[in-house]
Structure 1
Amino acid sequence: MCLAVPVCVTEVLEDDMAKVRVGEGETYLTVSTMLLENPPEIGDYMIVHAGFALRVLEEKEAGEALALLKEVAQSGRVVEF
């Protein structure tokens, strides 16, 4: 199963790349933004999968997705689709 994770842009880099923070923690990734229609800005939320930003999210949408992921992780339940 694959999971796309909401991230927040902390730095816009050269060559269609960005440094992003995953969730509320201290995990940072460098991801490609080449698939986005417009370059992201610092503070934008994006959905990322396999190192590629797929689309920009509204802050509310990103917060809801992160809250759901956190709830599932803390519950210890196995979610099947």
Structure 2
Amino acid sequence: MCLAIPAEVNELLDGDMAKCRVGKSDTFVNVSTMLLEEPAAVGDFLIVHAGFALRKLDPAEAQESLRLLRQMANIEEGTPGGF
């Protein structure tokens, strides 16, 4: 199964790339921002799938999506999660 995940832009990199943090974790991903309609900025939340930012998210929408993903992970694993 493939998921698109919310991630916050932490740093803008060369070549339409951004370093993004996934949730509140220590997980960072480098993503291409070339598909976005407008440039990304540090602090923006993006929906990321397969290494590409698909669109910007409202911060409240991003937090709700992360909350639901954590909840699903907890149900699946039966243990507290860490997104």
Task: Calculate the TM-score normalised by the size of structure 1.
Answer: 0.91
Separation (CA, whole Å) in 2 of partners of 1:52 and 1:58: 18
Give the 3-state SS of the residue equivalent to 2:65 in structure 1: helix
One-letter code of the match for 1:17? M
| Structure 2 unmatched ranges of 5 or more | 78-83
Identity across aligned pairs (percent)? 56
Question: 1:17-36 residue pairs with structure 2 within 5 A?
Answer: 17-36=17-36
Counterpart in the other structure of 2:74: 74
What is the CA RMSD across the aligned residues, in angstroms? 1.0
Separation (CA, whole Å) in 2 of partners of 1:14 and 1:39: 13
Give the 3-state SS of the residue equivalent to 1:75 in structure 2: helix
Q: CA deviation at 1:76?
A: 2.0
| Structure 1 unmatched ranges of 5 or more | none
Over 2 Å off, 4+ runs? none
Question: 1:1-81 residue pairs with structure 2 within 5 A?
Answer: 1-76=1-76
Separation (CA, whole Å) in 1 of partners of 2:51 and 2:29: 8
